[in-house]
Structures are given as structure tokens and as C-alpha cells.
Chains A and B, each alone.
Chain A
């Protein structure tokens, strides 16, 4: 869709540009100093998976490091604040090149990734992603780190920190690789210093899983009875006697479609 839109706009502007008298040298000169864009992003841990979201209003400074063949533009600086979608333009910023961006902070006041540096590649008029990972969840360790659902161990212990029983025994959640909670259980034991938790291994239906990369989430109970996730551990789940493969999808049935003006139209298919 973007390509189509660009192509249409390109055609329109090409016509106008030609009419306005752009010559090749002028186009090349402008092209060589046109700059690049940055997009500040942050990670969030949700439903056992890591997502990336816009990181808005980040104040950052880019410092040019080194050029690549054909580099053009201004190497002075790119001192910008990204907008509410995390985007900013390094106007006439040198590209292709490597730039090093320093985060000063963000307008939210959380100042995630403050003082951190990110070396990124700039391509002319392309967007360079800058990813802040301060929001990512804390990684814990599960022992064992692999379980067979046909013969699961009686107990799984997760080592980490900040695990608390102050308002109740923590909740242990098992997420499958598609981010669905497949089991929940309450902790049986928690270390007094909050560095480990153990719980009976919950039942995971062998007939409904082939196994995969699961995530175990540890949730402390808060004063108001809600849960707060304090860390995650990776867990490989296997199934030594997997269920039969599901029936393959039927062949798609094309909707009838018309041949208009001798041109084959793209038709929707249903499954």
C-alpha cells in the first residue's frame, strides 16, 4: 500500500517537478544533503512476550562517527527531541554513516535509558531505529529449565529477586509461545530473602501442546489484592508423545470474480 501511495505521489510530483524545471545536478545536490530520520522505541514485556512501542518525547543528541561510501550531509550534530510518536528528523544529517546517539531523558520524567548510547547506521532519508530496553522485564531462571509435559517434575523453582509474600503467596503463570496463559499456580515456598520461589508444576494438557518456548511469570500480590509481575523465566516445554497433527486446511475456495476489461482482478479467497 505504501509503495502504491509513493508511486502515485511520485508520478504527480515528477510531473510538477519537471514543469518547475528541476535539473539533474540540483536533484543530486539536494539528495546528498537531505538527512535521515530517527525513531525512538522502547520495549515492554507483556503476556510473556516482548513488544516494541513508540518512545515519545526523547531528548537525544547524535554524534557523527564514521562515513560510508557516498556519504554526504552535515556531520555537526543532531540534537533533537522526538515527537509524540517517537520520530524526529536529523535535517541534513550525514548519511550513509554511523552516528552515536546519547539519551538525555524523556518528557515523561521516567528518563528511561538516560545516559545510554546507541550506535546506529544512517541511510539517506531512511529511518534509524533506536531501541531503549530499560522497560524490559527482569530475567529470572527456572530450574529445571526444560520440562516434558508427559512426565513433568513435581516442582519448578524460579530464582530471581524481589519475590515477596507480604500480601500473599505469589502467583506463578505459564505462558506459551503465542503469549497465552496455559496454567497458573500459587507458590508453595518463597525464600525469606525473596531470591527464589517454588511451586508445584501445573498440569499442561499433553493433548493440546507440541511444546515450545514458554515463559514463567512471577507475580507478587499487592496491598490491594492486584498482582505485580516482578520477573520472568524462560522454560522449554517438550512433549515426548505429541498429539496427532491437525487435519490440514482445506484448499482455498476462490470467490468468483470477474474479468473486467480483459484484466484479471484480484479476488478474495476464503478458507
Chain B
């Protein structure tokens, strides 16, 4: 009886929120639609090696409410990874969101002069201010304030991926294929997190990514493919390739 009560309460809450969310979103949409002309801006950043340009605001397109833009490497050095931030309003709160792009294959690195198209969804038709938060060059040097602490994430992921690949290769040699098959199916247990534990989490994300790659390789080509996958670097960064 107690379970039934809890279930019914949960269902009730879900429906309440469904209704209130639908009711709350439409006024915002209308308000923003009226002032759409200056909805998207790009923050001026002196000396940024990555330039945001060709911004197209299609937020009013009901089927694809996108803000599309292009990032271009206007510096001299090839870019391996970068973080694009955008300030906006979500459910009434001022927030800074963003995306981190890390080249996981050579054709995704950005040599000097090369451009890459990106987009973000803007269903709420809110104002958006784009900026470049962080750039990591192919040689490992960096640029930017890195408020998103992306450098820490990248370092943790690469270290985790490398450590897990080495562990699995060792396991394969010592305990054989079955042990590796079981190891890559293991779940990663994440600890209770705080924002201070980013390095630890990033390390585990690297571990998780390696197991996922190994699983994919196993499904496609069995254990021989797993060994080959484990030899591959996590990404195309100097940090990964110098392993």
C-alpha cells in the first residue's frame, strides 16, 4: 500500500510539472520573439586565436531553433581543443553554458585558417552572448581564462584513458582475453562529487571512455580488435600521442 501511495504521488507530481512547464514556457517565447533582432552577440576578445563569426540566428524556426556559427583558427598554431561559452537565460536564471570540442581524429584539428561550423539550440529564444573561453594548441600550450576548467578535464580524461588502456593491456597479457572481456564490461563507480573533484571525475571519464571503445571494438572484431583499440591514443593531442 505504501509503494502504491508513493507511485501515485510521483505520477501526480510528474503531471503537475508537465502542465506547469508547458504553461510557463509560452510567455517567454513570445517576449523573446519580439526582440529577436539583437538576440545573439559575440563578445569582443583581443588576441583570441579562435574567431567566432558567420552567426546565423534561426531561433524562431520551430523545427530547428538553432544559433549557428563558425569558429576559425586565426592564429598561427594548430588547435587541438577549445571551449565555447555562451551566456543566456534558462528558466529565469542567468547561466553560462558551453561546449568543449576536442579533436578525437586528425581531421578535426583546426590548422591555421581552418573553420568549423557549430550550433546551439535556443528553443526559449533567449539572448545569447558567445565567447571563446579556452583554446589548447596542438603543442600543448593554451590560451584563455578557462572558466569552464576544460584544461583540467582534458588532462584528467587523457590520464584516465591512458591508465585504463595500460591496465587492460597488462590484464590481457597476464590473465588472458576472458579477464579483459569482463573488465571492460565493469561499471565505473563514480564517487560523491563536488566541484573540487573535477580531476578525479575526469580521470574516471577517461577510464569509462576507454572501456566503451574497447567494448565497441569487441562487438565489431572480437578480442584481437580490443587489443588494437587499446593501442590507440585517446585523442590527437601531443599529450596522448607521446604515450
Asked if residues B19 and A126 are in contact (CB atoms below 8 Å), the reply is: no
Contact yes or no, B205 A119, CB < 8 A: no
By beta carbon, the residue of chain A nearest B99 is: A118
User: Roughly how many angstroms separate A235 CA and B44 CA in the complex, as a whole number?
Assistant: 25
Chain A residue numbers with a CB within 8 Å of B193 are: 63-64, 75-77
- Interface hub of A34, A41, A125 (most chain B Cβ within 10 A): A125
Query: Known: A20-B5, A114-B104. Contact between A77 and B118, CB under 8 A?
Result: no
From A104, A116, A119, B97 is in contact (CB under 8 Å) with A119
Given the known A-B contacts A76-B193, A102-B205, A136-B118, are A116 and B100 also in contact in the complex, defined by CB atoms under 8 Å? yes
Check: B136 CB closer than 8 A to any chain A CB: no
Q: Is the CB of A115 within 8 A of B12?
A: no
Give the complex CA separation of A16 and B10 in angstroms: 12
Verify if A121 is at the interface (C-beta below 8 Å from B). Answer: yes
8 Å CB contact of B66 from A21, A52, A68, A100: A52
Whether A117 touches B66, Cβ cut-off 8 Å, given contacts A3-B22, A7-B19, is no
B121 touches A3 (CB 8 A): no
**Given A26-B9, A65-B195, A98-B97, does the pair A109, B220 have CB atoms closer than 8 Å?**
yes
Residues of chain B within 8 A of A131, CB atoms compared:
66, 119-121
Residue tally, chain B, CB below 8 Å to A: 70
Decide yes or no: A10 and B16 within 8 Å by CB, A63-B201, A77-B190, A114-B104 being known contacts: yes
Q: Chain A residues near B153 (CB, 8 Å)? A: 100, 117
Report whether A13 and B8 are in contact in the complex, using a CB–CB cutoff of 8 Å: yes
Which segment, of B29-37, B163-171, B178-186, B207-215, faces chain A?
B207-215
Is A133 among interface residues, defined by CB-CB distance under 8 A? yes
A260 within 8 A of B: no
Interface segment out of the listed A43-51, A180-188, A197-205: A43-51
Cβ proximity bits A234-262 to B, threshold 8 Å, 1 near / 0 not: 10000000000000000000000000000
Q: Smallest CB-CB separation from A124: which chain B residue?
A: B17
A59 located at the interface, meaning its Cβ lies under 8 Å from any Cβ of chain B in the complex:
yes
Chain B residues within 8 Å of A114, by CB: 104, 209
The closest CB in chain B to the CB of A109 belongs to: B216
A17 to B117, CA, bound (A): 49
Asked whether any CB of chain A lies closer than 8 Å to the CB of B129, the reply is no
- A119 in contact with B98 (CB, 8 Å): yes
Cα–Cα, bound, A17→B8 (Å) = 6
Query: Contact check: which of B9, B97, B220 meets A27 at CB < 8 Å?
Result: B9
Contact present for B117 and A105 (CB under 8 Å): no
Query: When the two chains form their complex, are residues B104 and A14 in contact, meaning their CB atoms are under 8 A apart?
Result: no
Q: Return A104 CB to nearest CB of chain B, in Å.
A: 4
Q: CB distance A2 to B119 under 8 Å?
A: no
User: A105 contacts B66, CB within 8 Å?
Assistant: no
Query: Which one of B19, B96, B187 contacts A6 once the chains associate, using CB atoms below 8 Å?
Result: B19
Q: Which of A198-243 contact B (CB under 8 A)?
A: 213, 234
Chain B, residue nearest A19 (CB): B8
- Asked whether A13 and B12 contact (CB < 8 A) given A115-B234, A139-B70, the answer is yes
Contact of B117 among A10, A120, A125, A138 (CB under 8 A): A138
Q: Are B97 and A51 in contact (CB under 8 A)?
A: no
Contacts of A9 in B (CB 8 A): 15
Q: Quick one: which of A16, A51, A125 contacts B18, CB cutoff 8 A?
A: A125
Closest B residue to A7 by CB, please name it. Answer: B19
Residue B68 lies at the interface, judged by CB distance under 8 Å to chain A: yes
The answer on a CB contact under 8 Å between A51 and B63 is yes
With A20-B8, A96-B91, A117-B99 already in contact, the answer to whether A13 and B15 are too (CB < 8 A) is yes
Q: Could you write out 6 A-B pairs with CB less than 8 Å apart?
A: A6-B18, A14-B12, A43-B119, A75-B192, A115-B157, A234-B54
Interface residues of B, Cβ cutoff 8 Å to A? 4-6, 8-19, 21-23, 54, 56, 58, 63-64, 66, 68, 70, 83, 90-91, 93, 95-102, 104, 115-121, 123, 148, 150, 153, 157, 187-188, 190-195, 198, 201, 205, 208-209, 212-213, 216, 220, 234-235
Q: Known A-B contacts: A34-B17, A61-B190. Give 12 more (CB < 8 A).
A: A6-B19, A20-B5, A20-B9, A34-B14, A109-B216, A117-B83, A117-B100, A117-B102, A117-B150, A118-B100, A121-B95, A129-B121
